[in-house]
Amino acid sequence: MKQRRALRKPINDDSVERVAPKRPYVLVTDAGHENPPFKRLDQPTGFLMDRISIRGGKILNGSIQISGAKNAALPLMIASLLTAKTLILRNVPRLADVNLLLRILRNHGVDMMVEGKRAKQDESVGETIHLSARSIVDTTAPYELVSRMRASFWVLGPLLARCSEAKVSLPGGCAIGTRPVDLHLMALEQLGANIEIEGGYVVARAPKGLRGNRIVFPKVSVGATHNALMASTLARGETIIENAAREPEISDVAECLNKMGARVSGIGSSTLQIQGVEELGGADHMVLADRIETGTYAMAAAITGGDVLLKGARADHLDAMLLALRQAGVKVEADGSGLRISRNGNRLYPINIETLPYPGFPTDLQAQLMALMTMADGVSTIRETIFENRFMHVQELARLGADIALAGDTAHVRGVDKLMGAQVMATDLRASVSLVIAGLAAEGETVLHRVYHLDRGFETLEAKLQACGASVERLTAG
Ligand code: EPZ
């Protein structure tokens, strides 16, 4: 039976323990930025923040375990709102964004348990989290939480589908463009929701429940596809989503939903068909490997002329990026255990790419590729077609000596013989890691400020790079 609005607090069952977050975070003011950092409670708060120091020039050699994908883990966690049963997620990366989403879900009444370490457990494998939304105690997602992470807006569809109403603050997120939510709202309206904007909140109601429909997206949107997909699993009848995003993270969520009893077909294609069901059950699901983290370390290995095995990486999710690396003269070998990236002494060739929805070249790897191309032998052209403001790394790369000219949505990157270490500022998650990549190749010391951006999306970045010989160190604030 679909739940309306449960006023009771949820009762824990035996298998699920409600726990305090393992690493509690509090807000640290960061004036002028919409996605403020989180600080461990056991560390001093204030305006001082961690920095990362990189002494460039070390060639990366060794292996790196690829973590679970942040952009799959977040919607998978949100999918727990669709069922009263327990959803077990394995290989969840230890990230600030994951911790924040746990807080948001707890606010809706989700009980959670993080499995403790097991004997002989591989340290590099992510956490196993049990999520039980036995009853939803609050259908409001407040501004204070949603404004810090855009993906938390995706609770809208599942809450609406399960409780027939939801009130969710308009989102924040990395400052990489205007990032509207019109497509999310259009999709939910197509499913029968009545939507109003009140005081910065989206208020969605479907008193008679959602009903299946044909949703045609005029533009490909990852988040709107997630929202429509999750909501339609509990809608009456059939939903067809056309021009759906095809990112592997969407397929991962769809497969998990099917394990929970949903009836989604067309997974991996741009047309998803969903037969609504009355209710969903629990499931046990392993988060897929992070293709963006894979691509990031591939660029890091390539810029230093190293040889690194990316364990657990999925080459089949990275065709466009691997083609670009090969064109740049980087050796790429895929085998059962992952991907080996090497560039022993080969020169780097310039390349021309544009970012596109999957399976095109990912916008989330644009900044990292640009860092690599700063040292290519010639002029590369990089066009950003997804977000209009995703070139904030350009001026920071220039501080390291990169030669980049911007013309609208296109960056012309003229390779230089060497980069020189400098103080640089992280502006968003992927931009900040591009500065780490450049810093690995730069002469002398690079100090990256505002590293909380990195902590949102890269699990144990310093340790992974250090294990391959990089000289990378966190300078802790206070
Ligand atoms: C997801 O963001 C990712 N986030 C982003 O990763 C990624 O860059 C992006 O997809 C594109 O691949 C997560 O998965 C958590 P979109 P999302 O909706 O869903 C426009 C990272 O670094 N649009 O696919 O917010 C929008 O402005 C992050 O991990 C509308 O016009 O992106 C953009 O131009 C950053 N109306 C384009 O669509 C809408 O209602 C694609 O955005 C929604 C989107």
- Residue 346: per-residue pLDDT: 83
| Same domain, yes or no: 424 and 471 | yes
Indicate whether 272 belongs to any domain.
yes
What pLDDT is attached to residue 476? 86
* Shared-domain flag, residues 447 and 320: yes
Please identify, among 228, 253, 286, the residue that sits at the C-terminal boundary of a domain: 286
Domain boundary among 268, 286, 304: 286
Nearest Cα residue to atom 17 of ligand 1: 223
- Residue pair 59/305 in contact (Cβ under 8 Å)? The answer is yes
- For 400-428, how does the pLDDT look when each residue is reduced to its tens digit (9 = 90+)? 999 999 999 999 999 999 999 999 998 88
Whether 467 and 397 map to the same domain: the answer is yes
360 and 464 inside one domain: yes
> Strand order in 86-92's β-sheet?
111-114, 127-132, 86-92, 283-286
Q: Which atom of ligand 1 is nearest to the CA of 430?
A: 22
Cα 276 to ligand 1 centroid, rounded to whole Å: 26
Structurally, the chain folds into a number of domains equal to: 2
The residue among 286, 304, 328 that closes a domain is 286
Could you report the per-residue pLDDT of 232-248, keeping only the tens digit for each? 999 999 999 999 999 99
Ligand 1 lining (C-beta closer than 6 Å): 71, 74, 150-151, 174, 177, 179-184, 219, 221-224, 245, 363-364, 386-387, 429-430, 457
Looking at residue 281, which CATH number applies to its domain? 3.65.10.10
Close Cβ partners of 36 (under 8 Å, ≥ 6 residues apart): 27, 28, 29, 30, 148
Residues 56 and 193 placed together within one structural domain of the fold: no
In angstroms and rounded to an integer, the radius of gyration of the C-alpha atoms of the chain is: 22
Enclosing domain of residue 102: 68-286
Other CB atoms within 10 A of residue 15 CB: 12
Verify that 309 and 265 share a domain, yes or no. no
Same domain, 301 and 358: yes
Q: Give the single-character DSSP code of 355.
A: B
Distances (CA, A) of 400 to 35, 302, 417: 25, 18, 12
174 assigned to active site: yes
The low-confidence residues of the chain, meaning pLDDT below 50, are 1-47, 176
Is 208 inside a domain boundary? yes
pLDDT digits (tens, 9 = 90+) for 253-291: 999 999 999 999 999 999 999 999 999 999 999 999 999
pLDDT at residue number 175: 53
Cα(245)–Cα(358) distance, rounded to whole angstroms? Answer: 7
Catalytic residue of the set 163, 174, 256, 468? 174
Question: Kind of pairing, strands 165-169 and 140-141?
Answer: parallel
Give the integer Cα–Cα distance in Å for 97 and 202: 22
Based on the domain organization, do 341 and 471 belong to the same domain? yes
Could you give the C-alpha distances from 194 to 187, 190, 205, 208, 210, in angstroms and in order?
11, 9, 5, 11, 10
Collapse the DSSP code of 402 into the 3-class scheme (helix H, G, I; strand E, B; otherwise coil) and give the result: coil
316 and 268 assigned to the same domain: no
